[in-house]
Structure 1
Amino acid sequence: MTGARPAAPLSTPVLLLMAMACGLCAGGNYFNQPLLHSIARDLGIAESRAALTVTIAQVAYACGLLLLVPLADMLERRALAVSLMLLAAAGQFVSGFACGFGMLAIGTAMAGLFSVASQVLVPMAAALAAPGRSGRATGLVMSGLLTGILAARSVAGLLSGWGGWSMVYRISGAVMLLVAALLWWALPSSRNAESARYGQILRSMGTLLRRHPRLRSRAWLGALSFASVSCLFSTMALLLSGPAFRMGDTAIGLVGLVGVAGALVANLAGRWADQGRQQATTGASALLLILGWAALYLGGTHLGWFLAGMLIVDMALQGIHISNQSVVYRLQPSARGRINAVYMTAYFIGAAAGSAAGSIAWQQAGWPATCALGATLALATAAARTADLRTQQ
C-alpha cells in the first residue's frame, strides 16, 4: 500500500487542533483516576471495585487499537477519526448519567473503545507532515495527547469539586462533539491509494510483527514502561485520599498538574527523533523511570517527593513513547496504521496489566508494595532497551 499526500502539508494550527482532539480522546480515559473515592461513595461500592474502571478503560482502549485503528489503512482517515470521536463522546455521556456501576462500566468501555480516534490522528499527522518533519509533527500531536492524559486528572478533580464527578463526563462529551466538528472542517481527505479487506488488514498485522524485529522489541519496551507508570495511575488517588494526605478530589486533581510539565518532553523527543537520537533518548528515559520510583517511594509520606517522582516518571514515559513511535513508523510507512495498532495494542495491554497489578499490590501491602512493583517494571524497561539496542545492531 502507498500513502497519498496532499499538495500542502498540514499547517501548525491544524496540527494543534489534532493535538487538542487527541488530548480529549485519550484524556477521557483517565478522568476516573482522581475520582475513585467519590465514585465509590456515591454509587455505594467498594473503592477496589471503583478502581476496576481504570482497567476497563485500558482494556477497551487496547481492543479499539487492535480492531479499529487498522481501519486507517483501509478507510478515509478524516471520516474514520471524526466518527470514532463522536462515538467516544456518546460513551462519556453514558458515564455522566450513570446511576450504578454497570452503567458506568458500559460508558467507560464505550469511551475507551472509540477514543482510539487519537491513534488514527497521530500516524495521520506523520504521513501528512512536510518532508523531514514527521518527528516534529508526531511530537506536537503527541504533546496534546499526553497533556490530555496528564491534565485529565487535574481537570476531573476541579470539575468534580464544582459539580460532582458526573459533571466531568457530561462536559467532556459536549466539548468532544465541538472539536469533532472542527476536525471535519479542518482536515484534508486522506486515504491509502490501494485498498484491502478488513480480514486482510487484520491478518497482515501478524505478518508485520513477524517481519520487523524492532516492532517487537519496541512494543515490548513500550508495554513495560507504561505498565510501570500505570501502577502509579491506578493507586495515586487512593494514596492521596488516605490517612497520609487526606486530599479531596480537587486537591488530587491539582497534584496531577505537575505531570503536565512533562508533556514538553514529547515535542523535544520528536525533534531528537528527526535527528536520529532515539536510542539516547530511550536510555536516558529508562534511567529516569527508575529514579522516579525511588522518589515516589519517599513520597508515600512526603508530598514534595511524591510530586517530584510523578513529574520524573511522566517525563520518562513520554520520552520512551515518542522514541518508540519514531522507530516503528519508519519501518514500513505504507502500513503506519497497522504498525501503530500493533505497537499501541501492546502499549495499552501493558497499561491494563500494570493497573491491575498495581491495585493488587496496593490491597496486599499498600504503597511500599506498589512502589516495589513499579520499580521492578522500570528495571525491566531498561533491560528491554538493551535488547532493542542489540536488535538494531
Structure 2
Amino acid sequence: MKILHTSDWHIGQRLHGNDREEEFQLFFHWLKDLIEEQQFDVLLISGDVFDVGFPSNGALKQYYQFLTSLIGSCCKQIIITGGNHDYISTLEAPSDVLSALNIQVIGGARENIEEELIEIKSNGQLQAVVAAVPFLRDKDIRLINAGESYEDSIKAINQGIIKHYQRLAEETKEYNCPVIAMGHLYVQGAGLSESERDIHIGNLSGLSVDAFPKEFDYLALGHIHRPQKLNAEGTVRYSGSPLPLSFSERADNKQIIALDLDRDGIKRIEEIKVPAFRKLISFKGLFDVVADELKAYQGKSDLTDWAEVAIEELVMNPALRTDFESLIESINRSDNGLLVVKPTLRFTGDEVSQEESLQNSLADLQVEDVFDNLLESKHILNKDEVSKSFTELLDAFHHQTENE
C-alpha cells in the first residue's frame, strides 16, 4: 500500500496582497497526476488546509474540485485533519457527503476518541490504522485553572496533548498492522520560518519527540512549513507546506512524503520534491547594485517570479526615493518574468529618524513587531513584562475556537 503525507496547504493565502490561485491550481494538477502515475492508495492532509477560517469562494472551489477529481482514481481514501488556521465548522460542514466518497474529515477533537481512529483497507483486508489527530485546543485536552501561570498552562497543554495520543495508542493495541498518527503541533527541534512566528501551542518548550507513544509506526505532522525529520529513522516528520508561504522559505526544498507499507510495517519512506511553479527571489544591498541585478534578471518559471527588494543606504537622499519608485515601476512593467511584491528602502544613518527607517507596511509586519515598536516609541519601562503579558493574550486568542 502506498500513502502520501502532506500538510499546510493554506489554500487562499495571499503573499503581500498578491493572489496565489494560479500556483495552487498548478500544485493540485501536479499532485493529481503524481497520485495517478505512482498509484497512491491513500492521501493524508495534516491540517491548515485553508489559510483563514472562513476561506473565499475561490479557495473553497479549488479545494472541492481537487477532492472530487480523485473520485474513481487509485486513491481510495483521503483523511483530512484540521489545523489552527482551519475552522472546524468550515471543514466539517460537508463531512457527511465527503464520507460517502471515502473522504474522512476530522476538523476538531472528538469527544469519543475512537472516532479519530480510521481503518485503511484494501480488498476488504485491513492494511493500516490512522490516528487522525487534529489541532488540539485548550478545551479539548485540559481544564482551565484560574490563576495558573503562563508557564503552568503551557505545561498542562503539553501534558494534555501527550495524554490524547496515549489514549489513542491504547485503542490501537488490538490491531495487528501499522499505525500512523497525524498531528498539527509544534515539536521540539523543528526549525521555523518567518511565516511561523505565530506558533502558539507549546511555544515555550514544545513536545519532545520521545514523548509520543512507541505504538505509532509513523507520525505525519503538520504546522511547521519547512520539511524536516525529527528522528534518525525519519518516522517522525513534517512534510512542510507545498508552496513557500513567505520569502524566508524561498530556499526550502518543498516536498511531500511517500510511504510504502504492508501489514508488517513501513518498508520505505521517500521524499518527493514539489516543483517550484514560481520562484521567490530576494534582492538586498545598495541601490546601484540591486538596480543592475533587477534589470539583468530573467525569469524562467511557469509563472512570474516574485521578488522582495530591500535597499539600504547610509546617507539620507530624498532624490533616491524617487529613483527607487521609478525602478520598481519599471521592473514591474517589464517582460523579464519578475514582479516586485515587497519593496523597501531604508536610510540607516544615525541622523535618520525612526519613522524614516521603518519602511515596512503594517501588512508586512508581525503582530509582535507592531507591539514591540509601540512599546519602544512610548518608552515603556517594564517592556519585558508587558511584552510577556501580550504574548499570553495572543496565545489565548489563538487557542479559542470560532464559536467562542
TM more than 0.5: no
Which is greater in Rg?
2
Give the TM interval when normalised to the shorter protein.
under 0.3
- The answer to which structure has the higher strand fraction is 2
TM-score when normalising by structure 2: 0.25
